[in-house]
Structure 1
Amino acid sequence: MFPARIRAIAPSALVMLALSGCSSWGCTDTTAERGEAGVRVRVVDTDGQTHGVTAEVVDWSLEPHPQVPSEGDQLHFRFRFDGADEYADPAVDACAVDEERVTLGCQTISSSQAFGPADDSRTGDQWLDVEDPEQVDAVLLIPNDQSYDRRTCEADIKDGGGTHPPESPSRGDQL
């Protein structure tokens, strides 16, 4: 067997390696489950916890974009974040859907994009690119906070890992 001196030092060395991050034993990546989309949602972090922030689609319309009116009607929507402060910048996916809740296009919007008029500084607006704007039945928000982009184990085995936000929906996904 090993001499007593080595047996005494070995556990300490293993603890030092684990504490220093030189071990990949604890690095795991998981993906949060996508929350239920809606016109008004409570923003949830990767652990499913809410932090008092709600996001809402205020309204939407099909109209020509002012910079490219020749391209015809495009989807223009207004949104609002309540409860966000200057230290947190929650972000959610906004998706145009048809009457069967199939996504026609999505993009991530954040509370820092809400800089409406002085009487409602929590409101912002965006244009969403969709192939067939006439098929849009609603604009829905997915409650999962997309603002925290944690490093993966593959990218950084020492500091990566943990729960990541779900992938943003692609065209054709059912919400």
Structure 2
Amino acid sequence: MLPARIPAGAPAVLVILALSGCSSHWGCTDTTAERGEAGVRVEVEDTSGRPLGVTAEVVGWRLEPHPQVPAEGDKVHFRYRFDGADETSGPGVDACAVDSERVALGCQTIYASGGWAEPDGALTGDDWLTVEHPEQVTEVLLIPNDQSHDRRTCDQDIKDGGGTHPPKAADRGDQL
């Protein structure tokens, strides 16, 4: 029996609030995938660590001035190849110029869809990395984690967000 002061509809309001998420977090959780082992050639993996059937590879690199800004000095010009990727919605991986200790000197995400289709089905392309001390670059490495599908977080959308997200994009100073 309800006390006389509580309106009869109050329990129904509490049920509606509970179902609407006002008193519940919908069980939304965010996790971050672990960063995979960087290499010159990597099997691209999803956020659970499963291979996507796509291989990404750095097929060459050199130091040279960028043709549009030659006065800025040497940059890292590298070529890449994706095998098994879709032309329109292929994965993206982080590419990093590293020193002899595998410390990142400069990184950016490259996407298979940014490449050109080759007769053998591969997607190839080239890009540039800007680093403070280009003379320290010993290699260009790729990190295997697919960066192309970062779903919404619980903070952004408590009802439909959450799940496992790619690791934070690689940045200068990261040990690879």
TM-score normalised by the chain length of structure 2: 0.84
Q: 1:147 to 1:68 in 2, by over 3 A?
A: same
What stretches of structure 2 of length at least 5 have no aligned partner? 3-11
Cα pair 1:55 1:80 within 8 Å, conserved = yes
- In structure 2, the CA distance between the partners of 1:66 and 1:121, relative to structure 1 (3 Å rule), is farther
Which residue in the other structure is 1:5 paired with?
Answer: none
SS in 1 for 2:127: strand
1:72-87 aligned within 5 A: 72-86=73-87
Pairing of 1:13-162 with structure 2 (within 5 A):
17=19, 23-86=24-87, 88-115=89-116, 122-162=123-163
CA distance in 2: counterparts of 1:120 and 1:78, whole angstroms: 16
* 1:86-141 CA-partner distances (Å, limit 9, x unpaired): 35320000000000000000000000111166677511000111111110000000
Calculate percent identity across the aligned residue pairs: 72
SS class of match (1:70): helix
Normalising by structure 1, what TM-score?
Answer: 0.85
* RMSD (CA atoms): 2.3
Write out the 4+ residue segments of structure 1 that deviate beyond 3 Å after TM superposition.
20-23, 116-121
CA distance in 1: counterparts of 2:120 and 2:85, whole angstroms: 16
Structure 1 residues 123 and 86: CA distance shift in structure 2, 3 A: closer
Q: Structure 1: any 5+ residue segments left out of the alignment?
A: 3-9
Rounded to whole Å, the distance in 2 between the matches of 1:68 and 1:116 is 28
Q: What letter is aligned with 2:105?
A: L
**1:38-64 deviations in Å (ceiling 9; x for gaps):** 000000000111121010000000011
Residue 65 to residue 120, structure 1, CA distance change in 2 (3 Å): farther
* Aligned AA (1:59): G
- Code of the residue aligned with 1:101 in structure 2: it is R
**Cα separation, 2, equivalents of 1:161 and 1:40:** 30
